[in-house]
Amino acid sequence: MIIHKSTNPRISSFDPENFSFGNTFIDHMIICEFEDGKWGDVQLVPYGQLPFSPAMMGVNYGQACFEGMKAYKDKDGKVFLFRPEKNFARINKSASRLAMPEVTEEMFLEGLKALVDIDRNWIPQGEGMSLYIRPLIFATEEALKARIANKYMFAIVATPAKSYYTEPVSVKISDFYSRAANGGVGSAKAAGNYAASFYPTKLAMEEGYDQIIWTDDSTHEFFEESGTMNVFVRINDKIYTPPTSEKILDGITRDSFIALANKRGIEMKIEPISVKAVVEAQKNGTLKEVWGVGTAVVTSVFQALGYKGEKLMLPILTLEDSFALTLQKDLVDIQTNNAEDPFGWRVLVEKNILETV
């Protein structure tokens, strides 16, 4: 690894009580370039601008994917990653689907640990606090040719994070727009998936909703995802979540919720969720909770579902009564080292890694 430490670090001006998530960046980043059929040296460099052309193929043809993950600092100042091997596997799955070169485990994990270690002072402590980390791969070749690019960049950047949604939200069940289609790239974290979701979400927000529950593209009769999250439904005391597919992202938070529900002995059904069944459950009082899960938000509880012009209200439950909030607490306690980790999900980031690189 080639290391260029910042000569003008900004950490002294960082206020962990007052910062903007997604716009505040740590002092360093990881970059690595692919050319002539191979990856070059991984570089840890000061965070900053990179020179690219408007003819860059990633901008013109959309060869770009990313991951979302977090680092946490416990009460003793120890720093942990959460299931990074899953993010490594998934970014390569996305890269493969977009005809981009896969990264090596050493590039991904060692680069990640080195970055988190050198900028560990940027990780805020406290409830809901973390460092949000964004690994990404994108085509950099300068060419206006609709083909697979020959040059790419792998990068990792990071921003301090706090609680995403603090209040229950209202979501609209989509009966027209879809997030993904059969044979498409819904199971990849392709940048274009998110761009395509912005317009339908804008329309939903104009109707007074915060997000969308995406439904299947062919019939709009089954739940798929919610916004940028996987979706869970509780009817009576059973939890349902759709199975992953080429249209539904294999969420790491989703997988963790399933494991934690099973550990608690909560009945968990991984099967298609019909819109009709959810609406009927709301009408007869058996629909207890609907929520979304994802890296940034962890858990977003829904207070209302919009469907065909009607707003269907949901009960707002306390921690003692809510499966969503109980499983969220179980997960966050493991992530932040406030509970035992029976699954081996936490990965300690040792101090001074760069001295041994």
CATH number for the domain that contains residue 220: 3.20.10.10
Residues 116, 257, single domain; the answer is: no
335 is a domain residue: no
Question: Within this chain, do residues 124 and 56 fall inside the same structural domain, yes or no?
Answer: yes
Residues forming beta bridges with residue 93, ordered by sequence position: none
Q: Are residues 152 and 7 in the same domain?
A: yes
Looking at the predicted structure, is the pLDDT value of residue 216 above 90?
yes
The answer to whether residue 277 is domain-embedded is yes
Q: What is the mean pLDDT of the chain?
A: 95
Say if residue 124 is in the same domain as residue 187: no
pLDDT above 60: residue 356: no
Q: Is 218 left (phi over 0), alpha (psi -120 to 50) or beta?
A: alpha
CA distance 7 to 1: 18
Query: For the segment 27-48, what is each residue's pLDDT rounded down to a tens digit?
Result: 999 999 999 999 999 999 999 9
User: Residue 237 above 70 pLDDT?
Assistant: yes
Residue 230 lies in a domain: yes
- Residue 166: band (very low, low, confident or very high) from pLDDT cuts 50, 70, 90: low
Residue 142 confidence (pLDDT) above 90: yes
Is 350 contained in some domain? Answer: yes
| pLDDT at residue 321 greater than cutoff 80 | yes
Answer whether residue 325 is part of any domain: no
**Phi, psi torsion values for 31, nearest 5 degrees:** -135, 150
pLDDT, tens only, 172-207: 999 999 999 999 999 999 999 999 999 999 999 999
What whole-number distance in Å separates Cα of residue 31 and Cα of residue 98? Answer: 20
CA dihedral 50, 54, 59, 64 (to 10 degrees): -20
Q: Is residue 337 part of a domain?
A: no
Furthest C-alpha separation in the chain:
63
Q: Quote the domain boundaries for residue 94.
A: 2-162+346-356
Give the pLDDT score at 353.
Answer: 67
Residue in 268, 248, 250 with CA at minimum distance from that of residue 258: 268
Average pLDDT of the residues in 135-152: 98
If asked whether residues 156 and 185 sit together in one domain, one would say no
> Is the pLDDT assigned to residue 255 strictly greater than 80?
yes
Instruction: Specify the range with the lowest mean pLDDT, choosing from 78-82, 131-135, 284-288, 317-321.
Output: 317-321
In a domain, 326, yes or no: no
CATH of the domain at 48: 3.30.470.10
Count of domains observed in the chain: 2
Beta strand residue intervals within 308-356, DSSP E: 310-313, 346-348
Q: Name the pLDDT band for 163 (thresholds 50, 70, 90).
A: confident
Torsions phi, psi for 108 (to 5 deg): -75, -55
* 291: its two tokens: 């929520």
pLDDT at res. 222: 97
Structure tokens at 161: 């994070």
Mean pLDDT to the nearest integer, 121-144: 96
Residue 251's nearest CA partner among 82, 103, 105 is 82
Share of residues in the chain with pLDDT > 90 (%): 93
Q: Quick one: 109 and 179 in the same domain? A: no
Gap between the Cα atoms of 71 and 109, Å rounded = 13
